[in-house]
C-alpha cells in the first residue's frame, strides 16, 4: 500500500496529491490511499510500503499538520527506510520542498525521486510531473 499524505486548505496541494496518487495507481499491482495529514491513522499508515508527502508552503515552511506527521514518526521505527517522495505547492516563495526533503532525511525515510514543486494549482506540466512522481514511487515500492 502506498500512502499519499498531504495538507491543503484551498485545494492546490490536494489536486497535486490526487495526481501523485493517480500516477502511483497506474502501476500494476499498486494500491494507493490518499489521506490528509490531519486524518491520518498512524497505526494503519505504519504498515504502508511507501509514502508520498505533500504540503503547501506556509511561511517558507511546511503546514503544521504535515510537521506533526514528521514529529510523530521521528522515533517510530515502523516508518524507517521506506521509499518516499515529496511534493509541494507555493505562492512564489518556493521554500517548502527543501524543508520537506530535510524532514524526510531527519526521520530516515528513503527518498527515491526528486520532489515536485508547483506554483498554485497544477497546470498540465505540473499534472504530468505529479503523475510521474507517483509512478516513480510505486515502481520503487515494488
* Binding-site ranges for ligand FMN (CB under 6 A): 8-14, 56-60, 89-94, 120
**Residue (83 or 122) nearer to ligand FMN, CB:** 122
Q: Following CA atoms 113, 118, 124, 129 in sequence, which dihedral angle do they give, to the nearest 10 degrees?
A: 0
* Torsion angles phi and psi, residue 116, rounded to 5: -115, 130
What does the block give as the cell for 87? 511534493
CB of 28 to ligand FMN, least distance (A): 30
For residues 133 and 106, what is the distance between their CA atoms, to the nearest angstrom? 21
C-beta closer to ligand FMN: residue 37 or 141: 37
Smallest gap from Cβ 44 to ligand FMN, in A, equals 23
Q: How far is the CB of 59 from ligand FMN (least distance, A)?
A: 5
Amino acid at each position: 500500500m502506498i500512502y499519499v499524505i498531504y495538507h491543503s486548505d484551498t485545494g492546490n496541494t490536494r489536486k497535486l496529491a490526487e495526481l501523485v496518487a493517480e500516477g502511483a495507481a497506474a502501476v500494476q499491482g499498486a494500491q494507493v490511499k490518499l489521506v490528509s495529514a490531519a486524518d491520518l491513522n498512524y497505526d494503519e499508515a505504519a504498515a504502508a510500503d511507501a509514502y508520498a508527502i505533500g504540503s503547501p508552503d506556509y511561511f517558507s515552511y511546511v503546514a503544521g499538520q504535515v510537521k506533526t506527521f514528521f514529529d510523530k514518526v521521528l522515533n517510530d521505527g515502523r516508518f524507517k527506510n521506506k521509499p518516499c517522495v515529496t511534493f509541494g505547492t507555493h505562492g512564489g516563495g518556493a521554500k517548502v520542498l527543501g524543508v520537506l526533503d530535510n524532514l524526510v532525511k531527519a526521520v530516515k525515510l528513503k527518498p527515491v525521486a526528486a520532489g515536485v514543486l508547483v506554483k498554485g494549482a497544477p497546470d498540465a506540466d505540473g499534472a504530468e510531473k505529479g503523475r510521474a512522481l507517483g509512478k516513480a514511487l510505486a515502481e520503487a515500492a515494488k
